[in-house]
Each structure stands twice: as C-alpha cells, then as structure tokens.
Amino acid sequence: MHLSTSQYKTKSHTAVVIGSSMAGLLNARVLADYFTQVIVVERDALPQQPQTRKGVPQANHVHVLLTQGYRILKQLFPGIDAELSKAGAPKVNWGKEYALFAYWGWHPRIESDLITHTSSRAFLECLVRRRLSDFKNIKFREKTQVRGLLTNSQNSQVTGVKLYDLDEYFEEELVADLVVDASGRNSQMPNWLESMGYQPPEKTEINSFLGYSTCWFECPENLEVDWKAMAIFYKASHNKHGGVIVPVEGNRWAVTLAGIARDYPPSDNEGFLECARNLRDSAIYDAIKDAKPISKVHSYRRTENSWLHYELARLPEGLVIVGDAACAFNPIYGQGMTTAALGALTLQKCLPSSFTNSQYIGKGFTKNYQKELAKVLKAPWLMATSDDFRWETTEGGKPDKITQFMHKYMDEVIILAVHKPQVYKVFAEVMHMIKKPTALFAPGIIFGVLKQMIKRKTNNNSQQILTNSTEPVSL
C-alpha cells in the first residue's frame, strides 16, 4: 500500500537519514513520500555491485528477512520479488522446505504461506539502493561523516546536521526539517544529546556472549535433499553450538555456526568442519563436508541485545532514532531487518498526523514516534532476551518469574510442535513475526500443553511405581 502524500509535500522540506543500513534505506523510502528532498548520509563508499563494506561487518554472515519483513519489502518496492527471482535469489517455503532441529528434535514439514527469497545482505542492500536511486528526491552523500546536530538557540529543535567530507576534508552544515538516526550500534546520538544538555537515554543490555563464524560454499551438484534451508539449535545448558544453512544468489550456501556462553566457534576451515560435525545432529556437517568452500571463515562477536530507551527520554523535536541505533537484537534470532521494516511502517503511520498547516513536523512528533516504535520492539525483545536468559552466564539481569514461566511454557509448546503440525504452524508464524507471541496462548494450544504435561506426569508416576514395587504391577 502506498499513501497519496502530495498534499503534504511543499517546496523546501528536507529529511536527513544518517546511515545507509537496511533501517536507513527503508526509512528513506517512507520519507520520500512526504519530503521534497531526502538525503542519506553514509561514511562508507557505496559499492555499485553487491559487496561487503566496512560499515556492515556482519554482512559476511547469514541474514534472513523473515516473512513479515519480506512482505513489507514488497509493499514498499512493488516488483522487487521479480527482481530477486531474476537475480537467482532462491525462494524458500519456510514451512515445507526448512529443516529445523530445535530443542526437542526435528520439527514436521507443513503447508504454509511463509515464503521469501533468500539472499546475501550485500546483495539485498545493493538492490534496495538501486530501487531508491529511481526516486528523484532521494540523494546519497557517500564518504561523509555526521559529526553532530544543528539546533535552534534553545536546543529544543534539531534543524540539521554537521557534516565532514572524508574525501575533501571539509566541514559543512546541512539544514533539515527532520533528522533520522539509522547509524546502528555505533550511534553517537547519546553523546550528541548530552552535549546539548539532555540526559542520555536509559540503556538495557542483555549479553549471552554469543559469537558466530561463517563460511560460504558452492552448492554441491546433484544434491538430493528434501530441504532448501536448515538450522540446528544449541540447547541450554550443555549444547552450546548451533548452525544454519541458507541458500543465496550465485548458487551458494551461507553456513553460519554459532556458539553461546563464550564458547565461540572456530575461525579456521578445519575447525569449522569439526565444529559442524559435533553439533547436536550431523545434518549440516553431512551437507558441507564434501562441498567446496569459496571464502575464508568470517567471525563476529558483537551480539548483545541493547535497547536505548528513547521512548522514556526527553528529546528535541525534529529527530527520530531507528533500527539498531535504538534497539539492537542478538542477531542469531534473525529479527533485525524485519524489525527495521516494521519501524519504517511505524514512521509511515506517524508522519501524516504530524503535518499541520502551521508547521511541517508537528509538535510532539518525536516523542510519539519513539513511543510507537517501543510498542513494535516489545515482542522481538521478549523473544530474544528470554531465550538468552536460558544461560546462567548471560549478563544484564536475571529472568523474572514471568520469563521463567515463559521458558517452561515455550518448552512445552516446542515439544508439542514436534508432534503436532498445526501447533508448529502457529509457532513458525510467530517466529516470522506474522503473529504475535500471544497466538501461542490460544485455547487449543494451552489445552494441548496441559494434556501433554498430565500425560507425562502420569507416565512418570507409573514408572516410579514400577521402580519401587517389589511385586509385578499390571498397568
């Protein structure tokens, strides 16, 4: 759906987006419907072809746009589905073609409409940048660093940004009606706000000390398997390694191995294969042991969940903070790009109500957006941090009683999902952010969980009777 926004545009209104991450690109697309000029400022040189760049060190690893995020991408860029197909990005049905070995074993294959194209992060970013280049009111400023904010004399309104050209070594000021910080985990916004007399936002950080290593392989010829993508979970508290295979453009596999609680996977090819061989199931090792590696092993360690609570902070007008600059998740759960896409739709929802006859960005817009974004962040934050809290070595707090209950209940749901395809379907829809976690508390699922627990308790009691009895017992 595209909004008809010509009534909002005027002659001289500018929005600046700091950073050309996926969050920055998707928010720039939304802003193009409202602003005469959208300028995306990026400190890196932006490659014309898909390739990794310094500012996105995690791009060498598996990235998955969940089904909800993929649907938003198609909404914002009609026809992009066909472009992905033409470029050779595989299409995966995450119900039928995804082999998942979770905490309690292999899950069933199901009929579903959870279908996306899978690609490398570098390819997806390059494709979206090309689509944005079709917009005459979107411009990119490469090799340019944002070094601060411009404000009015009372520091109550952001009026632009201070730029530094990394090629020509000169400073300049860029006036804007709205500044969007999409600069990621390294955002300088807390420091900039403090220099303006504002209290930096409160920060919640949950760190399970997860790290991962990725190697890229050629897809083996004449491969006969019943899956396109595969994942093997680690399992608290003893199985600390997991892995995933995702097909991407160029007839390649991206294979990532993860290790939690500081038990990081190796960063050499021989150690990588040995780690894959020792996962809870050998399926990933069996797939790659004879495949041809086409890259070195890339490692990444910065995976803590970090939420800067801008929704609770006092902020100047004319500013919003999006993507990882506001809230970054442990990337192993694959929520980052999809949550960024939901954040872009949130901006789209907030913008129309902010326009008034007297001023372009209405008073209270910044606070309203950050509060609305916080509502979007709650569900993925709960899912990511709850799982990280399964490990005693996780730092940043301890699971409260609600989280402990959620662990026990989710374990029961996952056990049930192994044997009940209809439950797994709901579980998969929640994981792909199509449904809210509350869907797992539907009466039918609760009844199934209770029945499962009663049956297990009955069987355990019967076994105890058999063990303790000195006489034969008929059951």
Domain residue extents for the chain: 14-63+120-205+304-384, 211-300, 401-468
Q: How confident is the model at residue 464 (pLDDT cuts 50, 70, 90)?
A: low
Average pLDDT over residues 434-458: 93
- Specify which residues 18 forms β-bridges with: 41, 181
Residue position matching structure tokens 């991962």: 212
| Cα–Cα dist 330/383, whole Å | 10
pLDDT at 401: 86
pTM attached to this predicted model: 0.91
pLDDT at 355: 66
- Specify which residues 320 forms β-bridges with: 180
Q: How confident is the model at residue 75 (pLDDT cuts 50, 70, 90)?
A: very high
pLDDT at 367: 96
* Residue 242 pLDDT exceeds 50: yes
| 14-63+120-205+304-384 fold | FAD/NAD(P)-binding domain (3.50.50)
| 211-300 fold | Alpha-Beta Plaits (3.30.70)
| Cα–Cα dist 134/149, whole Å | 29
What are the phi and psi torsion angles at 457 (to 5°)?
-65, -40
Q: Could you give the C-alpha distances from 350 to 232, 344, 362, 431, 458, in angstroms and in order?
A: 39, 10, 10, 26, 53
Contacts of 80 (CB under 8 A, 6+ apart): 73, 74, 127, 128, 131
CB 428 within 8 A of CB 95: yes
Min mean pLDDT across 164-178, 272-286, 451-465 is at 451-465
Closest by alpha carbon to 65, among 115, 25, 118? 118
pLDDT at 471: 40
* Residue 407 pLDDT exceeds 90: no
Alpha-carbon Rg for the chain, nearest whole angstrom, is: 24
pLDDT at 383: 87
Is residue 20 classed as helix, strand or coil in its secondary structure?
coil
Average pLDDT over residues 131-154: 96
* Residue 473 pLDDT exceeds 80: no
| Cα–Cα dist 61/49, whole Å | 18
Average pLDDT over residues 448-469: 74
pLDDT digits (tens, 9 = 90+) for 349-379: 999 866 665 556 778 999 999 999 999 999 9
Residue position matching structure tokens 């979970």: 233
CB 60 within 8 A of CB 68: no
| Cα–Cα dist 313/331, whole Å | 26
Q: Which contiguous run of DSSP H or E holds residue 428?
A: helix 421-431
Q: How confident is the model at residue 460 (pLDDT cuts 50, 70, 90)?
A: confident
pLDDT digits (tens, 9 = 90+) for 14-55: 999 999 999 999 999 999 999 999 999 999 998 888 787 777
CB 146 within 8 A of CB 162: yes
Contacts of 297 (CB under 8 A, 6+ apart): 213, 214, 215, 266, 267, 268, 269, 272
Percent of the chain with pLDDT over 90: 78
* Residue 386 pLDDT exceeds 90: no
Q: Which two tokens stand for residue 390?
A: 């399964």
Our measurement of the distance from residue 352's CA atom to the centroid of its chain's CA atoms, rounded to an integer in Å, reads 26
